[in-house]
Structure 1
Amino acid sequence: MNKAVLIIVFNRPDKFRKVLEPLKIVKPPRLYIAADGPRKNNKNDKIKCKETRDIVKEIDWECDIKTLFRDNNIGCEKSISSSVSWFFENEEDGIILEDDIVGDITFFSYCEKLLDYYKNDERVMHIGNNNVHDNNSLDSYYFCSIGNPWGWASWKRAWKYFDLGLSKYSYDEIKNSINNIFDDEIFRRFWIDCGFYMKTNTEKAVWDMSWIICMMINNGLSVYPNQNLITNIGFDDSATHCISSDNRYSNLQTQQLKELKYLNEVGRNKYMDSKIMVEFYGQKPLNIKEILNDLDRLNFIINETINKIVWLIPIKSIRNNVRNHIKNKLKSIKPNNYPVDL
């Protein structure tokens, strides 16, 4: 392969070795290794961080190795995003892996070919992977507005739009861009809330969510293959975010991309955007029909309950007065199209 690869590591030497296994086969000519410093007063970090960094000495294929080893810990989000910035200060494009992302061999050729094919297409900003989102398509890949950060590739021309705290973008830019992309109000609210949170709480900004929002603001698209090309081996207690080994995305089986057929058109796949929102982010779309059905069921329950209570009143005139009083009260708080039928 001809593209450079960035690997972002920390304190997991065993996982770093596994990430390197397919790279020993594809042999990238330039390898960038970035590592955050050990956390303060953490003796285990000092040991494990050193072990992880020493693995660089085991790389035995001919390649140019550059390292960014920090003395002090700056935290996961700043460490990853600043490492990517460092990478693109030296490269026009390339592939980015974290220390728990193991790619199938075909993942690297997939990234390399698409990096060249969409090199000058400003609409395409991110090349990601699948994580088993079934597209029911014979195409090699599709486009979405959401970029998966578990094994990805990009260009310097795209990363220039990144801003961890979204300080270069206004609240209106965030809101309007997201509203233009998603039709569903639940999806809109999810990303608008994320964007507003990042902008308001800069120190707590999550790098990959900020990156996705930056792409949305700049009308960027992400490429997804129709097969899963990476596996995440990091779901355990050593992880920063994904600690549950029972997670459905833990240690997924990879597939080989047999053939890469380029699409004739660049366009967002709305169906797959929705599918990713549901499956990956757990956001259920707003279903008006379900809401109306729920209101019908609630209306029926209220009527039945009140009728049973009212009929316990033995005197008819009092019973009718009570029924009318309750009916008028409920009508005043319910929508006109959901009258209480007493």
Structure 2
Amino acid sequence: MQNLAPIALFVYNRPQHTERTIKFLKQNNLAKESKLFIFSDGAKSKSEEENVAEVRAIINNVEGFKSVKVIERKENAGLANAVIEGVTKLINDYDQVIVFEDDLITSPHTLAYFNDALNRYRKEEKVMHIGAYMYPLKTDDLPQLFFYRAATSWGWATWGRAWKNFEPNIDTLIKQFDKKKKSLFSIEGKMNFWKQMLEFKKGKNNSWAIRWYASIFLKAGLTLNPSQSLVNNIGHDGTGVHSGINDIYNVIINPKPITDFPEIIEEDKKAYQTIKSFLTTRKGNMATRIKRFVREKLSQYFSK
């Protein structure tokens, strides 16, 4: 397979997560032939400096890829700015990119999946994003891969032709939504995507991912996704920027290579319904929700 996409890995202050992420990435079949670019954000405060230094000691000794380039920042840009800048840089140089953060473990076939998909749908304007994560859907009647509207941010890839549609300005995005679009965007109100948009505007989150999904949605774009996840997020232990401690999104990684790519470029209706019903019931009944809430609060209290 020619024309392998460069890998962007964004790291910050979690040495153990970073080490595991790299370990699994290195076990990918295409690791040795892939260029790896590691973007290391600067410390936010004095107290972060030690962890950032520890992360940098790890990333400056990475082997097992075609090449490894480490880009260290003196100041703290924050995850969103770091991702947007790093992705834009690699898109400008290579016209395609595979993106990971420091809390994702991959299947040995994840890089092959991304590169196959990038090559296969390179000229399909409608396909704008390739995702590697999928919710733990309780079903075995979905195809190996399907198209869907929303973009997942735990391991993804895209091309220059799609990334040029990324609109970072939240006001420009928000004013293009009417009532019907809001409903379609938020999977008929089953996922808090619209709420995330409004919270971004209020400064309550700094998500690049919600703006990227909105940019794709407003262009009527599609995202490619596996029905069984090719990554798992290990950041739900309270150490992440946006992750609470919860196990709703924990998945078993698909150990098999991906071979069946969809020919028809349209949203898979069955997959949409399956995801919608997962989102409807994902938080469980009231007793389960209360238990989880108490557990999260206690762990926050004890980790202080």
Write the distance in 1 (CA, Å) between the matches of 2:68 and 2:171.
33
Aligned-pair RMSD on alpha carbons?
Answer: 2.8
- In structure 1, what is the equivalent of residue 122 of structure 2? 119
Contact 2:186–2:194, Cα closer than 8 Å, also in 1 = no
Write the distance in 1 (CA, Å) between the matches of 2:42 and 2:140.
44
After the TM superposition, which residues 197-236 of structure 1 pair with which residues of structure 2 at under 5 Å, given as runs?
197-198=199-200, 200-201=201-202, 204-236=205-237
- Aligned residue type for 1:157: R
- In structure 2, what is the equivalent of residue 6 of structure 1? 8
- In structure 2, what is the equivalent of residue 37 of structure 1? 42
Write the distance in 2 (CA, Å) between the matches of 1:281 and 1:17.
35
CA offsets 1:231-276 (integer angstroms, 9 cap, x no match): 11111132112131x42224x3212234412222111124433543
- In structure 2, what is the equivalent of residue 22 of structure 1? 24
Contact 2:248–2:282, Cα closer than 8 Å, also in 1 = no
The structure with the largest helix share of the pair is 1
The structure-2 alpha-carbon separation of the partners of 1:12 and 1:194, relative to structure 1 and needing over 3 Å to count, comes to closer
1:108: how far off? Answer: 1.4
CA offsets 1:202-248 (integer angstroms, 9 cap, x no match): 6844211111111100111111112221111111132112131x422
Structure 1 residue corresponding to 2:134, chosen from 122, 130, 137: 130
Q: Residue 264 of structure 1 aligns to a residue in which SS? A: coil
After the TM superposition, which residues 1-342 of structure 1 pair with which residues of structure 2 at under 5 Å, given as runs?
2-25=4-27, 26=29, 27=31, 28-40=33-45, 42-43=46-47, 45-128=48-131, 129-134=133-138, 136-137=140-141, 139-169=143-173, 171=175, 173-175=176-178, 178=181, 181=184, 185-187=188-190, 190-198=192-200, 200-201=201-202, 204-244=205-245, 246-250=246-250, 252-277=251-276, 279-280=278-279
Write the distance in 2 (CA, Å) between the matches of 1:81 and 1:102.
22
Instruction: Count residues in correspondence.
Output: 277
The structure-2 alpha-carbon separation of the partners of 1:47 and 1:110, relative to structure 1 and needing over 3 Å to count, comes to same
Unaligned runs of 5+ in 1: 285-342
CA offsets 1:143-175 (integer angstroms, 9 cap, x no match): 11011111111112111111233344461x223
Contact 1:174–1:213, Cα closer than 8 Å, also in 2 = no
The structure-2 alpha-carbon separation of the partners of 1:185 and 1:55, relative to structure 1 and needing over 3 Å to count, comes to closer
Q: Residue 178 of structure 2 aligns to a residue in which SS? A: helix
- Aligned residue type for 1:5: I
TM-score where L is the length of structure 1: 0.72
Contact 2:35–2:68, Cα closer than 8 Å, also in 1 = yes
CA offsets 1:13-51 (integer angstroms, 9 cap, x no match): 1111111123323324211111211012x33x1111111
- In structure 2, what is the equivalent of residue 296 of structure 1? none
Write the distance in 1 (CA, Å) between the matches of 2:121 and 2:254.
23
- Aligned residue type for 1:161: N
Unaligned runs of 5+ in 2: 284-304
Contact 1:277–1:283, Cα closer than 8 Å, also in 2 = no
- In structure 2, what is the equivalent of residue 304 of structure 1? none
Write the distance in 2 (CA, Å) between the matches of 1:131 and 1:106.
18
1:187: how far off? Answer: 4.8
Q: Specify which structure has the bigger relative contact order, considering alpha-carbon pairs within 8 angstroms and separated by 6 or more residues.
A: 2
Contact 1:35–1:69, Cα closer than 8 Å, also in 2 = yes
The structure-2 alpha-carbon separation of the partners of 1:207 and 1:140, relative to structure 1 and needing over 3 Å to count, comes to same
Contact 1:3–1:93, Cα closer than 8 Å, also in 2 = yes
Q: Sequence identity of aligned pairs in percent?
A: 22
Write the distance in 1 (CA, Å) between the matches of 2:193 and 2:249.
22
Write the distance in 2 (CA, Å) between the matches of 1:279 and 1:11.
32
The structure-2 alpha-carbon separation of the partners of 1:205 and 1:159, relative to structure 1 and needing over 3 Å to count, comes to same
Write the distance in 1 (CA, Å) between the matches of 2:196 and 2:51.
33
Contact 1:17–1:55, Cα closer than 8 Å, also in 2 = yes
1:79: how far off? Answer: 2.4
1:10: how far off? Answer: 0.2
- In structure 2, what is the equivalent of residue 309 of structure 1? none
